[in-house]
Amino acid sequence: MDTPPAGSTDQKPAETTPSENPQTPPSKPLDESAVVTSRKALITTLISIALSPFAILAGYYVGKVLSSPRLTIQYVRADPERESLKIRTDVLQVIQSDLGLAAMVKEKVSSDCGTWISDGKLTRTCLSETLNALDQLAGVVSFEEKIATDNITAITSWNPQTELVLVPILVPGVESQHITELARQDKKRAVEIFRGYVKALELKRSELNTLKTELRQLDPKTQRTGRVTFRVGVLNAGDADGVVFPDATLAVIDMKIPLLRKASPEDRDGKFTVIKAHSFEDVPFEVNEGRSEREALSKWQDLVKKETQEKFTIILKSPGEFDKEGRLPN
């Protein structure tokens, strides 16, 4: 047997088996039953936690909070009341003596803005509405006056050998078809009727212009009465309907004055206001003078009349309290 020469490095390493190498142990197959068992244990633990009395109670209260109303005040606006505008007696008699004109004006304005015709007291909020109504009526009167004048021209220049065509117009006491037939038979009589109507329209237009001139000369910045209407914008961001109590509080300087949400001017008990889920309401409040301390009420009204931008806070109930600051307008 040949032996390698001394000093030779050409030697083969000794072969080893896996069992002879402790650094690389053989891999073992996963035990699937152990994994399934672990997962079942985890799920069982989670279920027991979810069904525990504490978890059920916590879930109940969380759901109740999420489904309850969430009311917040978005704005507070103060609208001070002013004394009514005074219309001169001689000007007021112009419309009071013409029942037709008075009826036309009342038809054009809201019911609250037509009472000045009888009592002579025109509120500032109704001033612009009344002026717009008078402008509209003046336009109607001028239009009818032009039609009546054109019909007079058509009748006077009409040749009986041609057809007479008149613009339809409602003349008091005369039907449109009858006036055309009358003009064919008696031109002079028909012209007299139209001229009488034109004079009546001219008088009405003059009365309207007199009223418009008087109202435009009124100073809308009259003295404040001391009364204020508070407009409170309430938002309900919750999933359930909420309610605002009729009684609220006005906090100003060192005073607290009771407020009331009235259903009508004569209401003394107040009205609850329902705020639907995910909706908004503008809620009006007034000072509850019947439950206010006389000294505090007098100080508040003096502040309002001074027309200074005094800061105040409105506190609402529902059934807890929530508030927002506002300022009086100058």
Report the pLDDT value the prediction gives residue 138, as an integer from 0 to 100.
Answer: 94
Whether omega before 319 lies within 30 degrees of 0, making that bond cis, reads yes
Give the C-alpha separation, 58 to 79, whole Å: 46
Roughly what angle, to the nearest 10 degrees, separates helices 176-185 and 187-216?
130
Report the pLDDT value the prediction gives residue 18, as an integer from 0 to 100.
Answer: 47
Residue 256 is given by DSSP the state E
Please give the CATH topology (third level) of the domain spanning 71-81+226-327. Answer: Immunoglobulin-like (2.60.40)
For the record, the structure tokens of 140 come out as 């109607």
Strand segments (E) across 63-128 = 71-82, 85-86, 121-122
Report the pLDDT value the prediction gives residue 19, as an integer from 0 to 100.
Answer: 46
* pTM for this entry: 0.56
Give the C-alpha separation, 134 to 113, whole Å: 13
pLDDT digits (tens, 9 = 90+) for 274-328: 999 999 999 999 999 999 999 999 999 999 999 889 999 999 999 899 999 999 9
For the record, the structure tokens of 114 come out as 């037509």
Could you tell me whether strands 85-86 and 279-287 are parallel, antiparallel, or unpaired per DSSP bridges? unpaired
Using CA atoms, how far residue 49 sits from 35, 59, 71, 271, in Å, is: 21, 12, 34, 47
Give the torsion sign (CA, 181, 182, 188, 194): negative
Using CA atoms, how far residue 162 sits from 119, 158, 189, in Å, is: 55, 7, 19
Mention every residue, 6+ apart, whose C-beta is less than 8 A from residue 221: 82
For the record, the structure tokens of 62 come out as 């969380």
pLDDT digits (tens, 9 = 90+) for 25-34: 555 555 566 6
Q: What is the mean pLDDT of each run of 10 residues along the chain (330 residues)?
A: 48 48 53 65 66 56 67 95 87 89 91 88 87 94 94 93 89 81 91 94 93 87 90 95 96 96 85 95 95 95 92 94 94
